[in-house]
C-alpha cells in the first residue's frame, strides 16, 4: 500500500518499513542526480502548491527542485500573497487549493494550521515545518546516517539544545527505526511530554532507548551522532538573550566533544548561529554532516513526493 495519497504531518506518520523504502528511493535519486542520469518522472502532470508562512532557504529550494525534477509543476505561495488565516480562513485556502493542485506543502507557524488544512483538503498535505515538528528534516537526517551506517538500529543519536520541533521529529523517527535517542536541554526547554510519551510507546516495539536529560556532558558520552539546532527559532527572537544565558552550557564545541566517543559525527539542520549553539571549528570540521544533511533534503523529499503522489 505504501504512503500513496497520505498526509505527512508528523514523523510518526510513517513506519519503519516505509521510512527505509524512502531511504532506498532517495539513494537512487541521489546517485542518478550525481551521475547526471535522467530518472523517472512520477509527478509528470502533477501540480504541487508550496505555501510558506515563514522564510526558507533549504526547504524552499529543495522542494521546488524536487517537484520540478520529478516532472511536476511547483506553485510557490508566500504569506504576503495568501494571508493564511488572516486575509482568508485556513479551511478556505485549503478547499481552494484542493480544486487546483495534487498536493500541498506548507511551512507554517502553528501545527494546528496543517491539521486544519489536512481536514479540509483531499489532496495530501506535507509538513515543511511547524512549531511542533519538522518531519522532512528528520527523514533527511536519518537518511544521512543510514547512508553512513547502513543498519541504523541500536546506534546512538544525541540532540543537544532546544527540545523543539526538530527534536520532536528526531525522537519519533529514531524510535520508529530503533535508533537510541537522547535529548539534552536546559530545565524548562524539554520536549513536549506528549511527544516523549509517543516516542517511548513506539520505542517499546523497536527496542530503542529514549532519554531526556538536563546534563549535556552525560548525554554525549555514548553519542555516535551529536545534533544541535538554533537556540531561538523563528518567532522566539524576543527570548534570544535569555536563551543565550540558559543554553550556554549546551554549546557544541571542542570542549563538549572531548566527552563524546572518538569518531562522533556532528549534525545541524541549519541555519546555524555560529558562535552560539555551535562553533565554527566544529561546524566546518570534516566530521560535520551539516552540508550532507542539507543536500539530502532534496533527495529525501523527492522520495517522499514520489511515494505520496506516484505511489507503489
Is-catalytic flag, 134?
Answer: yes
Which of the two residues, 234 and 196, has the higher pLDDT score? 196
Percentage of the chain beyond pLDDT 70 is 98
Q: Which candidate in 229, 243, 299, 301 is catalytic? A: 229
Are 11-133+297-306 and 137-293 the same fold in CATH? yes
* Full 3-state SS string of 24-77: HHHHHHHHHHHCCCCCCCCCCCCEEEEEECCCCCHHHHHHHHHHHHCCCEEEEE
Would you call 156 helix, strand, or coil by DSSP? strand
Res 234: pLDDT? 62
Q: Tens digit of pLDDT for each residue in 176-205?
A: 999 999 999 999 999 999 999 999 999 999
Res 312: pLDDT? 56
Q: Which candidate in 6, 60, 111, 134 is catalytic? A: 134
pLDDT at 52 over 80: yes
Which DSSP string do the residues of 227-238 spell out, in sequence order? Answer: EE--SS-TT-GG
**Per-domain boundaries in the chain:** 11-133+297-306, 137-293
Q: How confident is the model at residue 241 (pLDDT cuts 50, 70, 90)?
A: confident
Q: Which candidate in 174, 297, 299, 301 is catalytic? A: 297
Are 175 and 206 in contact by the 8 Å Cβ rule? The answer is yes
Residue with cell 502533477: 46
d(CA 48, CA 67): 7
Query: What is the pLDDT averaged over residues 97-113?
Result: 97
Is-catalytic flag, 274?
Answer: no
Is-catalytic flag, 174?
Answer: no
Q: How confident is the model at residue 84 (pLDDT cuts 50, 70, 90)?
A: confident
Q: Which candidate in 107, 111, 268, 299 is catalytic? A: 107
Q: What is the CATH number of domain 137-293?
A: 3.40.50.1370
Q: Which candidate in 102, 181, 269, 299 is catalytic? A: 269
Average pLDDT, the chain: 95
Helix or strand run (H / E) with residue 212: strand 210-213
Q: Which candidate in 53, 79, 137, 293 is catalytic? A: 137
Q: Tens digit of pLDDT for each residue in 110-164?
A: 999 999 999 999 999 999 999 999 999 999 999 999 999 999 999 999 999 999 9
Is-catalytic flag, 107?
Answer: yes
Total-model pTM: 0.96
CATH top-level class for 11-133+297-306? alpha beta
Amino acid at each position: 500500500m505504501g504512503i500513496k495519497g497520505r498526509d505527512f504531518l508528523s514523523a510518526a506518520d510513517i513506519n519503519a518499513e516505509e521510512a527505509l523504502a524512502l531511504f532506498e528511493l532517495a539513494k537512487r535519486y541521489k546517485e542518478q542526480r550525481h551521475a547526471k542520469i535522467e530518472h523517472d518522472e512520477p509527478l509528470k502532470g502533477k501540480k504541487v502548491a508550496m505555501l510558506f508562512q515563514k522564510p526558507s532557504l533549504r526547504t524552499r529550494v529543495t522542494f521546488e527542485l524536487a517537484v520540478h525534477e520529478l516532472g511536476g509543476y511547483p506553485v510557490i505561495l508566500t504569506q504576503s500573497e495568501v494571508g493564511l488565516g488572516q486575509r482568508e480562513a485556513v479551511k478556505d485556502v485549503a478547499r481552494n487549493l484542493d480544486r487546483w493542485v495534487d498536493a500541498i506543502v506548507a511551512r507554517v507557524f502553528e501545527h494546528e494550521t496543517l491539521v486544519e488544512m489536512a481536514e479540509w483538503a483531499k489532496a495530501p498535505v506535507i509538513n515543511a515545518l511547524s512549531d511542533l515538528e519538522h518531519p522532512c528534516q528528520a527523514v533527511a537526517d536519518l537518511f544521512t546516517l543510514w547512508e553512513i551506517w547502513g543498519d541504523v538500529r541500536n546506534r546512538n543519536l544525541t540532540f543537544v539544545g532546544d527540545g523543539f520541533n526538530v527534536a520532536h521529529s528526531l525522537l519519533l523517527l529514531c524510535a520508529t527505526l530503533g535508533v537510541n535517542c537522547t535529548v539534552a536541554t536546559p530545565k524548562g526547554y524539554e520536549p513536549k511530554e506528549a511527544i516523549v510519551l509517543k516516542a517511548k510507546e513506539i520505542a517499546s516495539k523497536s527496542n530503542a532507548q529514549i532519554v531526556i536529560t538536563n546534563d549535556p556532558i552525560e548525554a554525549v558520552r555514548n553519542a555516535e551522532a551529536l545534533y544541535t539546532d538554533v537556540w531561538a527559532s523563528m518567532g522566539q527572537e524576543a527570548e534570544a538573550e535569555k536563551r543565550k544565558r540558559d543554553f550556554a552550557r549546551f554549546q557544541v564545541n571542542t570542549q563538549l566533544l572531548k566527552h563524546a566517543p572518538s569518531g562522533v559525527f556532528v549534525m545541524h539542520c541549519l541555519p546555524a548561529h555560529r558562535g552560539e549553539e555551535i562553533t565554527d571549528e566544529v561546524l566546518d570540521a570534516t566530521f560535520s554532516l551539516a552540508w550532507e544533511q542539507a543536500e539530502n533534503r532534496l533527495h529525501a523529499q523527492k522520495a517522499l513526493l514520489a511515494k505520496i503522489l506516484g505511489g507503489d
